Amino acid sequence: MAKIPHSFQSVTTMLVHILAVPVFFLGFILTYQSRWMIRFLEAGNGMAVFNTLMLMCILLGIMCASRIPMTALREKIHPSWWQYALWSLAEMVVFTCFAALYMALIYGNIGYFPALGHCFRICFAILPYPYIVTALLMAVIRPDEEETAEENLVRFADNTGRLKLVIANDVMLYVEAQENYVVIHYMEGDKQKEYSLRQSMRGIEELMTRHGVIRCQRSYFVNPRHVKVLRRDKEGMIQAELDIPSCKPVPVSPKYYEQLSRLL
């Protein structure tokens, strides 16, 4: 399934969710004034507004505990749409559980599970709206150019998962294996550079495939965007000549020749 846009894990989106969802929750209850909600939230002491504010604070805390890690781990975790939906559902369920605990303590004479039933009704009568509206707004408002630029970034992490290098996919030339490392050859302005990353070819294969960089030999990936021509040398070996004059030819094995030639 398709991944959610990177903008859904941006700092801006995090702040929107952390602030908008609790504020909508408070505003809905105080504006709509549903009798059954107010009757339950009064808790027999006429403090519906105070209890609503306390529930909003609980929701705010849960949103912080959920959305800050989602944003902080965006380089390592990029969920699909159904995973994002489950994450959002989990936030609502956790809020419901804590809200029921608070209301049960405030009432004193009502059990946790009866309070849970009321809180479940309140939560799922209100919270789906800000989640859906926020998701639609982020999908519509975000600039297409920003999302495209984000998708074009190749994020290289080492074998411990630490992010080490971020480059645009159109500046990457090729990747070669060297013992326990992979060497990434890329352009920075008009200069050719390389970066040694402690990683395996298998470890970056899915990343390369996702960004259109294909395997051309057991120890090489090449970016078809920079392949100028495929030639055979005097020994009959196939080599890919790149459009960078200073770049050495990249070996191509017969196994991958057809796939690469179709992309040229």
- pLDDT at position 101 is 95
SS (H, E, C) 109-160: CCCHHHHHHHHHHHHHHHCHHHHHHHHHHHHHHCCHHHHHHHHCEEEEECCC
Average pLDDT, the chain: 88
What is the reported pTM?
0.58
Q: Hey, what amino acid is at 183? A: V
With respect to CATH, is domain 152-263 assigned 1.10.645.10?
no
User: Is 143 a residue whose pLDDT tops 50?
Assistant: no
User: Is 141 a residue whose pLDDT tops 70?
Assistant: no
- Reported as a pLDDT band with limits 50, 70 and 90, residue 68 is very high
Give Rg (Cα) of the chain: 27
Listed by start position, the domains of the chain span 6-149, 152-263
Q: Among 61, 81, 79, which Cα is nearest to 21's?
A: 61
- pLDDT at position 145 is 44
Phi/psi of residue 239, each to 5°? -135, 145
**What tens digit of pLDDT does each residue of 184-210 get?**
999 998 899 999 999 999 999 999 988
Q: What is the DSSP string of 27-80?
A: HHHHHH--HHHHHHHHTTTT-HHHHHHHHHHHHHHHHHHHHHHHHHTTTT---B
Q: List, in sequence order, every residue forming a beta bridge with 249; answer none if it has no partner.
A: none
**What tens digit of pLDDT does each residue of 103-122 get?**
999 888 888 999 999 999 99
**What tens digit of pLDDT does each residue of 207-257 get?**
998 888 999 999 999 999 999 999 887 777 899 999 988 899 999 998 888
- Reported as a pLDDT band with limits 50, 70 and 90, residue 78 is confident
In the chain, count H helices and then E strands: 9, 10
The answer to whether residues 62 and 95 touch, using CB atoms and an 8 Å cutoff, is yes
